[in-house]
């Protein structure tokens, strides 16, 4: 079946408003579980929320969310993905929480939060 020129090709475009708000709420809950002094990656949060491969959705939720501990979310390998003043602010906030850096990246061996998988 061919897509028409005006139709969206993005993943999840077919989901209803209820489904997308449930996804957003699950991602927000996963982000809120990261304790002070620990960090996680966009991909790990997506997996913990039940949406493997949806790291960009995590970024979108963080961008639109309010009151989330955004500074605790990093790119793969502990890299700060923000730029400019936002990156400096993220690093300062993380250092204030006791997160250790190795050069420009967070020491993930010591500071990564491991999500516990729920039993089904």
pTM of the model: 0.83
Of the candidates 88, 69, 35, the one whose C-alpha atom is nearest the C-alpha of residue 80 is 88
3-state secondary structure at position 101:
strand
Helices in the chain by DSSP H: which ranges? 17-32, 42-48, 55-64, 84-96, 108-111
What pLDDT digit, counting tens, does each position of 80-92 carry?
A: 999 999 999 999 9
Class of domain 17-111: mainly alpha
Ranges of each domain in the chain:
17-111
What pLDDT digit, counting tens, does each position of 8-26 carry?
A: 444 545 567 788 899 999 9
């Amino acid at each position: 079946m061919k897509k028409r020129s005006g139709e969206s090709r993005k993943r999840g475009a077919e989901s209803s408003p209820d489904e997308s708000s449930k996804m957003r709420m699950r991602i927000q809950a996963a982000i809120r579980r990261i304790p002070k002094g620990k960090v996680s990656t966009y991909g790990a949060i997506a997996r913990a929320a039940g949406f493997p491969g949806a790291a960009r959705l995590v970024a979108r939720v963080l961008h639109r969310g309010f009151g989330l501990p955004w500074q605790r979310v990093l790119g793969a390998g502990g890299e700060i993905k923000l730029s400019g003043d936002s990156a400096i602010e993220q690093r300062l906030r993380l250092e204030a929480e006791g997160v250790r850096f190795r050069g420009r990246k967070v020491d993930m061996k010591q500071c990564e939060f491991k999500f516990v998988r729920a039993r089904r």
